[in-house]
Structure 1
Amino acid sequence: MLKPVMILSTAAALVTAALLPLTGSTPAAASTGTAQITGAAQTIAGFGASGAWWVNDLAHFGTTAQKQAADLLFTSSGIQLSQYRYNIGGGGTGVSVAARAPQTFLNADGSYDWTRDPGGRAFLGYAAADGVPDLIGFVNSAPASMTSNGQSCGGSLGTGQESAYGSYLATVAAHFAAQGTAFDEISPMNEPDNSFSSCGQEGMTVAPAARAGVINAVGSALASAGLSTKVIADESSQTTQLLSEAPTWLADATAPGHVSAIAHHTYDFPSGSQLEQVGALGATNGKPVWATEICCQVSGGGYGQQYDPTITGALTLVNSLYNDLAYGNDSAFQWWTALSSELGCDPTASGSCATSVNSHGWNDGLIYYDPNYATDGNQTLYPTKRFYALGQYSKFVRPGAVRYAVAGSLSGVQTLAFRQNNAWTIVAANTNTSSTSLALNAGSGTLTPTASYRTSATESLAPVSAPNVSGSTLTATLPAQSVTTYVLSSAGQPGSTAPTGQTLTGVGSGRCLDVPGSKTANGTQLDLWTCNGGSNQAFTLTASGTITVYGGGSAKCLDGYQGGTAAGTVVDIYTCNGGANQRWVVHPDGTVTNAASGLCLDATGQGTANGTLIEEWTCNGGTNQRWTLA
């Protein structure tokens, strides 16, 4: 994890890395000015944060303060996180920062001392008691006896230690399962690309070629212990590393069978097309992708030192969350750490410390506490706007909800739509500095607002007025720099009132997606052609994610030819059959990816002329891969 201790080695590169602009990428605008919910995308696993490090401090807090922190994180009186990451400590041997040296349960003689890590165990217990659906155990370093240098940092997992490491993690998992706090997943190598040689925290490297062995050892040991716990991997620091390194272990004969999700961090602050490539990695390997760590952005930019508890700082989290879900099709979003002491100021000396921006602290936590608690006795908790902004998603979008793609949001409005229990949850972030209108067609019969909440400069998960509703369309005004959640029941199923017969126009060419010669034969490859209003240019984006042409009994589906997943796969029309190669996801910048391959709908060779053929190609952000829907 790229945390404050890593500045000297990584910050210079990361500070220059840019987030996608908070105003959003160019949207696939609808001609009516009304955004449209299109096809089903990913199923949501949850929203969470980690319990690393701060639990060592909160072990010394009173029960009342501990319970307040747990309530804020895990219950409906707070933000009701649906995922919690418990740090399985490696003992902190060699770690220079005491608070970042978690205890290990493993004794030198091979026995276990389950009384260790009192803070970590306490908050894992709170999470389980409060009904957090998904508990994850993650490891920064194996116990020192299993590392190459006999320390909890600066080395790698020792040669030949895979089996012992697997047995160790299975023993830990079995113990907690017996206590009623079973892990749903274990991540055995958090950021295995980094040894954290500065030793400000735990860390160990695992070479890409060795990762399959670790996954197999841990997965097999968990299964042998009779546990249902699965592995998530490999939690690379950057998406570029994941894309280049994860295929090595994904190609192993058995490792993918132990893995329930491909996990990644986003400390390269990836573009939309890079995130779409992460989604493609998941699609071609039949695994959901999870964004399992991010933090520490300077407001509106890349990685750096800053403490910003305001709505401006909150929108950096929102921007990451939106990009991960809307471009990468991530099923989970996990902020780095739930609590932090990195205020950068003394809250007992300054009444504005916890609410003002400074350049000395870090944007690594959702909630903060006094770093001098041990001497001044201050156990006050200080929630940030970042905390409340995450709650706009975590409280209302629960595991099992299905995200539906949204096309046509206005610039600066980041709209996510989720469907669960015959209701829509719409979360709209207005990143603009002025109020902006939201108009959204849900395409599912009459809507009835049931709950509306907002976080802004002046509101914190506050109830607000319901949106205006006419049939299946809602309209509202979003205040500047705000995040608003609308929950609406629906009288119809998705797609029951969706627009039909729309054109998909290439941004680079200005020409329409077209079935040449109005042919109807299966296997006819699509092309670009001057827009002419013909039925062969009229497409319907269905709720299932298919894109159909001709309608009625003659309808044909947009199809990745013969289920191909390689770049260059022909895009044709074919009898609709429910295959993943006939499902498509529309992204906010107008790119359209195939559910089977994760590749983009592409005008071949960046062509713009009539007759340019259409294929699937690696997403790259080109205008030949962006489409407007009208």
Structure 2
Amino acid sequence: MKKMFSGRRLFALHIVSPIVFFFVLAGCSSNVQEDGQDKSLKGVPVKEITANINISDTYQTIDNFAASDAWACQFVGNWPDVKRNAIADLLFSTDTSTSGQPKGIALSLWRFNIGAGSTQQAEQSGIKDEWRRAESFLNDDGSYNWQRQAGQVWFLKAAQERGVENFLAFPNSPPVNLTTNGKAFASDGKPNLAPDKYDAFADYLTEVVQGVERVHGVQFRYISPVNEPQWDWSDGGQEGTPFMNENVAGIVRALNTSLERKKINTTIDIAEAGKIDYLYTVDDKPNRGNQVDAFFTSSSPHYIGSLSHVGKVISGHSYFTTSPFDQAVDKRRQLAEKVASVPNLKFWQSEYCILGDNAGEIEGNKRDLGIDPAIYMARVIHNDLTVANATAWQWWLAVSPYNYKDGLVYIDHNKTDGNYYESKMLWALGNYSRFVRPGATRVHTELTGGKTEDNALLASSYVDAANKQLITVVVNAGINAAKMKLNVKGGNIGKVRPYVTTATENLMPGSILKNNSEITLAPRSVTTLVAVLK
């Protein structure tokens, strides 16, 4: 399969075929009245559907929604206070305006990229794009400089100040002090860390965890020691290295020992597969695929599932598997079945942005702040949550300077200052991250009535027992409006408030509705319905 770089990742130039464009259901706008009617949509034919929700029929419990600080935060974290704080508010804030509109999407986990030191190497790093290099805390003499990665550390603290409690640290490459070729990317598709360096790499990671907490006051609850080990990472497009399953297991064993020795409670996350297929099948990567069995089946030579610091989670990325719709669903069903074969194992979708041409549905190239990529993204989230049973969903670049569909907030390509731009992808993710909080449990939801077999309308619901709420996010792949009622079993709900993302609105709160109201949902939009649980 031909691969190329863009935004961050290696990606397939062509995936599959037909076209089911990803749309998200939709939005009671500010025109919605107490009876649920939107006056601006009078005379427009609509589908009439019912969302049948059974609170007693439960699925997975949500852990988090997240994004990564790579790579722009190293610069944006040093921008003028007003601008960097405004960007942090968009990503992390749980506050609302006087109108009740959220000021931010309230991410519940923040991913911190531990740099390998290519920034210190400058042009000699072999990574041409300065924005894809990263600093390292580690000095050549083995000492540490905790004032490095200052921009990223600023965002760590900004997230913490705004209520984020969960942080994950991940390297794309071991530090250049330890790699085989002295670079932050591999040579000839070979692992860039020798087995006799596993212990040193593990001690380095634990030192980073301890140092960031000691000096900056932020604790990493999770650490993910390898990233997309299936790719070769040999072209110098960014920091990265391939690993075989045996390498991953060796690194994790060494890291587990180091964490135990230093009495650190951080949980190890594995294995950030480059696409979800590698979790349940060998696919095209012998010795780098079938990772659920490799790491969590006790008879496997690479079994690490019983180690004290290894989380009962397998993580993978949704790249190259999101189109067309029927194949996306089928892959996620296979993944869910494989994960379910290991008692208590969970799946995290730990990285995604829009890559490739996605069977002609949408291209990754070219920045688009509008609703189309937001709709596509929201459908991906829906399938990952409802078919793959993901307990976490994590986006790639929180902040992007690129002409690509890889960011939530976009910025000018300027290291010291510039403008920032909100994307609809930011607010589409916010329909989930803002309202579906850690600890919420997904419950059975089925749409009936109208024409739903074309997958135009999608919905998922979550019970937030702590806040006594039923959260429903609905998806509309059509160009016409729809009318919907909630039919709740296993519990009672009170009033319902919609929050709407459309081409012109960002989580706009609608009027409070009665629990039996017929809600008019605008075309090509995302709506979250927040109902009080009695």
Distance, in Å, in 1 between the alignment partners of 2:220 and 2:341 is 27
Contact 2:49/2:482 (<8 A) preserved: no
- Is 1:272 matched with 2:294? no
Using the size of structure 1 for normalisation, the TM-score is 0.69
1:173 to 205, 209, 223: 209
Deviates more, 1:166-175 or 1:234-243: 234-243
Residue equivalent to 1:400: 439
Residue equivalent to 1:249: 295
Kindly state the Cα deviation for residue 401 of structure 1 after the two structures are TM-superposed.
Answer: 0.3
Distance, in Å, in 2 between the alignment partners of 1:226 and 1:6 is 34
Distance, in Å, in 1 between the alignment partners of 2:380 and 2:365 is 17
Residue equivalent to 1:362: 404
Distance, in Å, in 2 between the alignment partners of 1:48 and 1:17 is 29
Give the number of equivalent residue pairs.
458
Distance, in Å, in 1 between the alignment partners of 2:219 and 2:523 is 43
1:315 to 371, 375, 397: 375
Contact 2:5/2:237 (<8 A) preserved: no
Structure 1: which amino acid aligns with 2:209?
A: A
The 1:144–1:338 alpha-carbon spacing in structure 2 relative to 1, beyond 3 Å, is: same
Task: Map 1:144-163 to 2 at 5 A.
Answer: 144-155=176-187, 156=191, 157-163=193-199
2:315 to 257, 263, 279: 263
Contact 2:336/2:388 (<8 A) preserved: yes
Deviations 1:219-270 (A, max 9, x none): 2212222111101111111111222321222234444533222110011225
2:53 to 18, 22, 37: 37
The 1:2–1:36 alpha-carbon spacing in structure 2 relative to 1, beyond 3 Å, is: farther
Can you give the 5+ residue segments of structure 1 that lack an aligned partner in the other structure?
Answer: 25-31, 343-360, 492-630
Contact 1:449/1:486 (<8 A) preserved: no
- Is 1:490 matched with 2:506? no
The 1:373–1:176 alpha-carbon spacing in structure 2 relative to 1, beyond 3 Å, is: closer
Distance, in Å, in 1 between the alignment partners of 2:224 and 2:415 is 32
Kindly state the Cα deviation for residue 433 of structure 1 after the two structures are TM-superposed.
Answer: 0.8
Kindly state the Cα deviation for residue 429 of structure 1 after the two structures are TM-superposed.
Answer: 2.3
Kindly state the Cα deviation for residue 372 of structure 1 after the two structures are TM-superposed.
Answer: 4.1
Contact 1:17/1:303 (<8 A) preserved: no
**SS state of the match for residue 407, structure 1?**
strand
Contact 2:447/2:458 (<8 A) preserved: no
Contact 2:494/2:514 (<8 A) preserved: no
Distance, in Å, in 1 between the alignment partners of 2:71 and 2:508 is 31
Larger Rg: 1
The 1:294–1:254 alpha-carbon spacing in structure 2 relative to 1, beyond 3 Å, is: closer
Kindly state the Cα deviation for residue 190 of structure 1 after the two structures are TM-superposed.
Answer: 1.0
Deviations 1:523-560 (A, max 9, x none): xxxxxxxxxxxxxxxxxxxxxxxxxxxxxxxxxxxxxx
Deviates more, 1:457-466 or 1:40-49: 457-466
Distance, in Å, in 2 between the alignment partners of 1:253 and 1:373 is 44
Give identity over the alignment, percent.
31
Using the size of structure 2 for normalisation, the TM-score is 0.81
Deviations 1:147-196 (A, max 9, x none): 23221012422232211111110110111222321111111011111232
Distance, in Å, in 2 between the alignment partners of 1:439 and 1:283 is 33
The 1:17–1:238 alpha-carbon spacing in structure 2 relative to 1, beyond 3 Å, is: farther
The 1:419–1:5 alpha-carbon spacing in structure 2 relative to 1, beyond 3 Å, is: closer
- Is 1:22 matched with 2:74? no
Residue equivalent to 1:104: 136
Distance, in Å, in 2 between the alignment partners of 1:161 and 1:141 is 13
Contact 1:326/1:405 (<8 A) preserved: no
Distance, in Å, in 1 between the alignment partners of 2:19 and 2:268 is 29
Can you give the 5+ residue segments of structure 2 that lack an aligned partner in the other structure?
Answer: 25-47, 95-102, 119-124, 282-288, 323-327
Structure 2: which amino acid aligns with 1:294?
A: Y
- Is 1:182 matched with 2:226? no
Structure 2: which amino acid aligns with 1:73?
A: L
The 1:2–1:287 alpha-carbon spacing in structure 2 relative to 1, beyond 3 Å, is: farther
Residue equivalent to 1:430: 476
The 1:75–1:19 alpha-carbon spacing in structure 2 relative to 1, beyond 3 Å, is: farther
Residue equivalent to 1:355: none
